[in-house]
């Protein structure tokens, strides 16, 4: 097997790269994917999102090490092991991130990745539908492969959340992916015609109809590097090990967990760590596997005095009815991820752009699908966006089949605790506004009895959950930066013919969910790989709160 380009991974970035590299028909492209098909209602029905990320069939099944900051708990770390990667098992929330995130990337040495540079690529990817709900058309794309829609927000609680944010003195926004991220407003989702619009549905499947693109089901063991150049990928399938040759380049897009693992197994990483496992060093890169970041969140849950929440459908009959309606018509409750209202706020005066995110949900339930016993309720997922804590992904052994060691080092900075306490208190303040008067019952979680810093810290330690946004483990920077792993064109520093393009390369985690930014990386990396001039910059200035120096609202 041989191709011009060999891509490891069919996820959010890999699917995009496969589609873009095969577009002009000049290059033969192979995508290597270990996971199976994404067909079937558990993946394609948006409301079923809690299932695939808990199914061994679709998930790599990674676990973190015991986390000291969370009382020694080990957290599940789902990554998609299926066509479409994590875009096939995620919550389908679409957030670009804040303009300032990308300006910060550029300051960190990712030249050409400022917001002015990436905005045209977001537009190229998007096919945006505002559903008549307003929004910021001049900032959005309308003819890309990635459909971005808004839920119907039929439940009155969605509007109550936005109104309550405004009553608490915060901003509202018609389009957090446009000029103004800060504020409360409608949430966007990668759902189209009632189906999950994964990177596989948007990019890969249409592209696989081309003769020059093929997907191979196999397990990628390592990149083959000869005389300092990547020449192929060692794969295993059907019990045999073989090498797929790459005439031009190998592109790793295997996730922020598997990509650094593959680099290290291929001899690229911290020399001492590779020696420990008997791996020959090809390129000594200290940053491989370091700089691991994620978003943690809590569910602040409130009972509802009116029986209008999704709890009334949270039984076998309700689920069967919603499922049947979706199977037949792709409409109804099954056609939305149910995250239809959002909020982005700043934690305090002196913070110039939002650093707290809310997802609002008209039911009190956990990600793993276990409903709160309390009956009718609603919740906001809330957490800080820019934690100072950093973790790492390292090898447990040189066996490619062994999962890597994942240590997030959550809550290891004092600022994390202050930020999280503030998140709880500000959410209570929002739920306490007049807009919720007709609906507000008792506080389910943390519970009104938990008020002191110590009580809140204990609750955080026991209940904080990952939002499943790992990134940063092979960060992009200047070629002379000892901690950078890829240069601003996504070339792995120190090896020819090898690129890495997925959420691993983020210098710092973006503001919000990571699927949109990962697709962006695929779009922009494709132009670099093909040697094309980047799209012309767009100098659109984001809205920054004029009161940012004096107030959090």
Q: In Å, how far are 299, 426, 431 from 170, measured between CA atoms?
A: 20, 11, 13
Helix (H, G, I), strand (E, B) or coil at 426: helix
Which stretches within 353-467 are classed as H helix?
Answer: 414-431, 453-463
Class of residue 371 by CB neighbours under 10 A (exposed 0-12, middle 13-18, buried 19+):
middle
Our answer to whether residue 469 is catalytic in this structure is yes
What pLDDT is attached to residue 193? 96
Query: Per-residue pLDDT tens for 220-268?
Result: 999 999 999 999 999 999 999 999 999 999 999 999 999 999 999 999 9
d(C-alpha 413, C-alpha 387), whole Å: 8
Which CATH topology does 152-186+296-384+412-463 take?
Answer: Cholesterol Oxidase; domain 2 (3.30.410)
CB 285 within 8 A of CB 485: yes
CB 285 within 8 A of CB 270: yes
Q: In Å, how far are 35, 55, 491 from 218, measured between CA atoms?
A: 8, 20, 24
d(C-alpha 484, C-alpha 169), whole Å: 41
Residue 117: both structure tokens together: 């540079």
Going by the DSSP 8-state scheme, the letter that residue 200 receives in this structure is I
Among 98, 295, 381, 469, which one carries the catalytic annotation? 469
In sequence order, which residues have a C-beta less than 8 Å from that of residue 333 and are 6 or more positions away?
47, 310, 313, 322, 325, 326
Centre a 10 Å sphere on the Cβ of residue 337 and count the other Cβ atoms it contains.
Answer: 22
d(C-alpha 223, C-alpha 522), whole Å: 20
d(C-alpha 485, C-alpha 285), whole Å: 6
d(C-alpha 53, C-alpha 61), whole Å: 9
d(C-alpha 142, C-alpha 144), whole Å: 6
d(C-alpha 355, C-alpha 420), whole Å: 11
Four-CA torsion 392, 393, 398, 402, nearest 10 degrees: 140
Residue ranges for the known binding site for FAD are: 4-33, 82, 90-93
The residues of the chain scoring below 70 in pLDDT are 131, 366-374
Helix axis angle, 414-431 to 453-463, nearest 10°:
100
Four-CA torsion 481, 484, 485, 489, nearest 10 degrees: -80
449, 30, 404, 416: which is closest to 251 by C-alpha? 30
In sequence order, which residues have a C-beta less than 8 Å from that of residue 250 and are 6 or more positions away?
5, 6, 8, 223, 230, 231, 232, 233, 497, 498, 499
d(C-alpha 124, C-alpha 140), whole Å: 9
Question: In the chain, what are the domain boundaries?
Answer: 1-146+189-292+470-543, 152-186+296-384+412-463
d(C-alpha 426, C-alpha 416), whole Å: 15
545 backbone φψ class: left, alpha, beta (φ>0; ψ -120 to 50): beta
Q: What b/e readout covers 183-213, taking b as 16+ CB neighbours within 10 angstroms?
A: bbbbbbbbbbebbbbbbbbbbbbebbeeebb
Residue ranges for the known binding site are: 4-33, 82, 90-93
179, 503, 482, 90: which is closest to 490 by C-alpha? 503
CATH number, span 1-146+189-292+470-543: 3.50.50.60
Helix (H, G, I), strand (E, B) or coil at 85: helix
Q: What b/e readout covers 8-32, taking b as 16+ CB neighbours within 10 angstroms?
A: bbbbbbbbbbbbbbbbeeebbbbbb
Q: State the residue for tokens 């009155």.
A: 156
Residue 302: both structure tokens together: 């409130």
Helix (H, G, I), strand (E, B) or coil at 87: helix
d(C-alpha 477, C-alpha 394), whole Å: 21
What pLDDT is attached to residue 54? 86
């Amino acid at each position: 097997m041989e191709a011009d380009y060999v891509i490891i991974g069919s996820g959010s970035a890999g699917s995009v790269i496969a589609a873009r590299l095969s577009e002009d028909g000049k290059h033969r492209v192979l995508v290597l994917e270990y996971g199976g098909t994404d067909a079937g209602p558990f993946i394609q029905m948006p409301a079923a999102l809690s299932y695939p990320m808990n199914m061994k069939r679709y998930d790599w099944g990674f676990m973190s090490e015991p986390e000291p900051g969370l009382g020694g708990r080990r957290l599940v770390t789902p990554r998609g092991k299926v066509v479409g990667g994590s875009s096939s098992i995620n919550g389908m929330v679409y957030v670009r991130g804040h303009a300032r995130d990308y300006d910060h990337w550029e300051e960190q040495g990712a030249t050409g990745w400022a917001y002015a540079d990436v905005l045209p690529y977001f537009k190229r990817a998007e096919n945006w539908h505002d559903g008549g709900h307003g929004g910021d058309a001049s900032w959005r794309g309308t003819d890309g492969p990635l459909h971005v829609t808004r839920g119907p927000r039929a439940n009155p609680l969605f509007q109550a959340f936005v109104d309550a944010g405004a009553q608490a003195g915060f901003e509202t926004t018609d389009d957090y992916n446009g000029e103004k991220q800060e504020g409360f407003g409608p949430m966007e989702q990668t759902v189209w015609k009632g189906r999950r619009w994964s990177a596989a549905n948007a990019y890969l499947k249409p592209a696989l109809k081309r003769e020059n693109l093929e997907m191979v089901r196999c397990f990628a063991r390592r990149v083959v590097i000869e005389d300092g150049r990547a020449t192929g990928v060692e794969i295993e399938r059907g019990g045999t090990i073989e090498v797929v040759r790459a005439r031009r380049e190998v592109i790793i897009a295997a996730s922020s967990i598997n990509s650094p693992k593959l680099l290290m197994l291929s001899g690229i990483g911290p020399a001492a760590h590779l020696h420990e496992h008997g791996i020959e060093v090809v390129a000594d890169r200290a940053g491989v596997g370091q700089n691991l970041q994620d978003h943690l969140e809590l569910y602040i849950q409130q009972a509802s005095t009116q029986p209008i929440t999704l709890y009334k459908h949270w039984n076998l009959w309700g689920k069967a009815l919603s499922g049947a309606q979706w199977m037949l018509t792709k409409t109804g409750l099954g056609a939305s991820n149910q995250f239809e209202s959002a909020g982005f706020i700043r934690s305090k005066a002196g913070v110039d752009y939002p650093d707290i995110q809310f997802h609002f949900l008209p039911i009190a339930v956990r990600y793993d699908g276990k409903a709160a016993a309390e009956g009718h309720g609603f919740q906001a997922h809330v957490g800080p966006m820019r934690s100072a804590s950093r973790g790492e992904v390292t090898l447990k052994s040189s066996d490619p089949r062994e999962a890597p060691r994942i240590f997030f080092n959550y809550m290891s900075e004092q600022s994390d605790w202050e930020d999280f306490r503030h998140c709880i208190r500000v959410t209570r303040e929002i739920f306490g506004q007049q807009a919720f008067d007709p609906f507000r019952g008792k506080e389910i979680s943390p519970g009104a009895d938990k008020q002191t810093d110590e009580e809140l810290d204990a609750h955080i330690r026991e209940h904080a959950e990952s939002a499943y946004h790992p990134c940063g483990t092979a960060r992009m920077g200047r070629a002379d930066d000892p901690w950078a792993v890829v240069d601003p064109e996504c070339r792995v520093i120190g090896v020819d013919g090898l690129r890495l393009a997925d959420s691993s390369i983020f210098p710092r985690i973006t503001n919000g969910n990571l699927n949109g930014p990962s697709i962006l990386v695929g779009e922009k990396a494709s132009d670099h790989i093909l040697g094309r001039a980047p799209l012309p910059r767009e100098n659109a200035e984001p809205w920054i709160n004029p009161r940012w120096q004096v107030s959090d609202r």
